[in-house]
Amino acid sequence: MLNLILHLFATAFRSRRSLILENLALRHQLQVLGRRKQRPLLRDRDRAVWILLRRFWPDWQGSLVMVQPETVIGWHRRGFRAFWARKCRKVQQGRPQLWRETRKLIRQMAHDNPTWGAPRIHGELLKLGIVLSPTTVAKYMKRTGPPSQSWKTFLENHAEEIVSVDFFTVPTITCRVLYVFLMVHNASRRIVHVNVTPHPTMEWTAQQLVEAFPWDSAPRYLLRDNDRIYGWDFTSQVEMLGIEDCSTSYRSPWQNPYIERLIGSVRRECLDHVIVMGERHLRRVMREYVEYYNENRTHLGLAKDCPIPRDVEPPDVGPIRQRSMVGGLHHRYYREAA
């Protein structure tokens, strides 16, 4: 009680300005403490309030409750350093920096044209109205090694002359494992050959080449992985047919993308929905799927056409009909002439 009387007596002799600032400080702290229950959540504007109170109010420490006075002093010092660091920041001197779009264009030209040097790219930039020195072009070019085409570029440039081969396994209802051998023409996505065996050997695999490419119809390149089944007998048969054998790097299935994508399509669109009874059943299912795949299934990489191109049937031909394929898993839609 005595302390309260003394506090009221001291307050009566304080100036109006001091009372207003004290009231502001206490109300501000109540507002900050009301934001969260555990720890006060301080924002930059809250720190700015106490920095200003410290500057213009001598008795600011007496009303400070939520933090220590040293904390407010630290805020003031950090703000002082940040202010003068920004004010004394040096203006960039020297040559003007190249636009980001120009740097990106230089790197894009160097990436798309591995055989081009800085003078060649500099000439192209001049034709585009971009004036800069050849040394600047050389500075922003990104070179990772000697100029050579990438593996993706090789596959795209020689797709018409490449056939990819690979095996994949299929379990049967009796827990046997059958092996499916696939061959696909990269450019047309057409399945060239398919066969099934329970015991693949080098001799059997080499014989598939003879059955797939009779009468001098062999491609120029054969793309395969490094499985040991492609041994001496297989490589000898490839050489006899006049085919250049190309193997991918170890553990790099992405280097043979066409056949890998085909195997995924066969599983998703056919074999994942079929219980294989045996070798004869799998061979029949694969024969039906190959017919659907080559003659009826449209491909995004072929501009929505089929490996064996389908004619467009205009509406005036007749009404639309459908035909079940691959045991009802897929359907062929066509117009029937009236």
Q: What's the 3-state SS for 173-231?
A: CCCCEEEEEEEEECCCCCEEEEEEECCCCHHHHHHHHHHHCCCCCCCCEEEECCCCCCC
Q: CATH class for domain 154-317? A: alpha beta
Going from the C-alpha of 4 to that of each of 11, 52, 192, the distances in angstroms are: 11, 29, 101
Nearby residues of 322 by Cβ (< 8 Å), 6 or more positions away: 331, 332, 333, 334
State the pLDDT at residue 13.
52
Put simply, whether the predicted model's pTM sits higher than 0.85 gets the answer no
Q: Which two structure tokens, joined as six digits, stand for 153?
A: 């570029």
State the pLDDT at residue 145.
56
Instruction: Please choose, from the candidates 170, 218, 181, the residue with its C-alpha nearest in 3D space to the C-alpha of residue 203.
Output: 181
The 10 Å CB-count burial string (b at 16+, else e) for 38-74 is: eebeeeeebbebbbebbeebeebeebbeebeeeebee
How close are the terminal C-alpha atoms of the chain, in Å? 109
Q: Which two structure tokens, joined as six digits, stand for 146?
A: 């000697």
* Tens of each residue's pLDDT in the chain, 338 residues: 445 444 544 555 556 677 677 777 777 776 766 665 566 667 777 778 777 777 777 777 766 767 787 887 787 788 778 777 877 776 555 566 677 888 888 888 888 887 788 888 888 888 888 888 888 888 888 765 555 667 777 778 888 999 999 999 999 999 999 999 999 999 999 999 999 999 999 999 999 999 999 877 889 999 999 999 999 999 999 999 999 999 998 888 889 999 999 999 999 999 999 999 999 999 999 999 999 999 999 998 888 999 999 999 888 888 888 999 999 999 989 888 87
Backbone angles phi, psi at 277, to 5 degrees: -85, -35
State the pLDDT at residue 15.
67
Pairing type for strands 221-224 and 320-325 reads unpaired
State the pLDDT at residue 4.
42
State the pLDDT at residue 6.
47
SS3 state of residue 245: strand
Using the structure block, give the residue that is written with the tokens 């059958």: 178
State the pLDDT at residue 1.
44
State the pLDDT at residue 81.
81
SS3 state of residue 117: coil
Backbone angles phi, psi at 2, to 5 degrees: -65, -40
Q: Which two structure tokens, joined as six digits, stand for 230?
A: 């492609």
